Amino acid sequence: MKDVLILLFERDLNKLISELEAYRLEENIWKVSGDISNSAGTLVLHLVGNLKHFIGAVIGNTGYIRNREAEFSLKNLPKANLVKQILETIQVINVTVSEFEEDNFSSNYPLEVFGKTMTYEYFMIHLQSHLNYHLGQVNYHRRLLDN
């Protein structure tokens, strides 16, 4: 399970970097329009905050303090800053998951995120799905608004 999670998170976070790099105009990373209220930049901040908190801080005791409000209020950070944060997140996940005991995946995650108890395995798969959901949004955002 550990190797698969590391592989999938690393693959998809690198794909997130590729999506940012594919923008023709860097300022379009922060563009919103009509019913599209979250820019690609906002989605990146949300993803790195989410993963650094739920994997890094909760499981890995990294000391990371999440500021969820800032994930949605910060604007116009340079693309290089976003890429740096994604690379840091990859490192946090790789270290944390590689040090996690394989037998612990069937035990309960220490937080009730959705108001119910869930296993580490369940929640890690949820976090991977959450990453992919927003990765798809970033891809669509780029193709729709980077013109």
pLDDT over 70, % of the chain: 100
pLDDT for residue 47: 98
127 has a pLDDT exceeding 90: yes
The neighbour count for residue 20, using CB atoms within 10 Å, is 20
Number of domain units in the chain: 1
Tell the burial category of 61 from Cβ atoms under 10 Å away from its Cβ (0-12, 13-18, 19+): exposed
Mean pLDDT of all residues in 19-30: 98
Q: How confident is the model over 30-70, as pLDDT tens digits?
A: 999 999 999 999 999 999 999 999 999 999 999 999 999 99
Rounded-to-integer distance, Cα 119 and Cα 29, Å: 35
State the pLDDT confidence band at 147, using cuts at 50, 70 and 90.
confident
pLDDT for residue 58: 98
What residue numbers bound the domain in which 14 lies? 2-145
pLDDT over 90, % of the chain: 99
CATH code (residue 132): 1.20.120.450
Q: Do the Cβ atoms of 50 and 109 come closer than 8 Å?
A: no
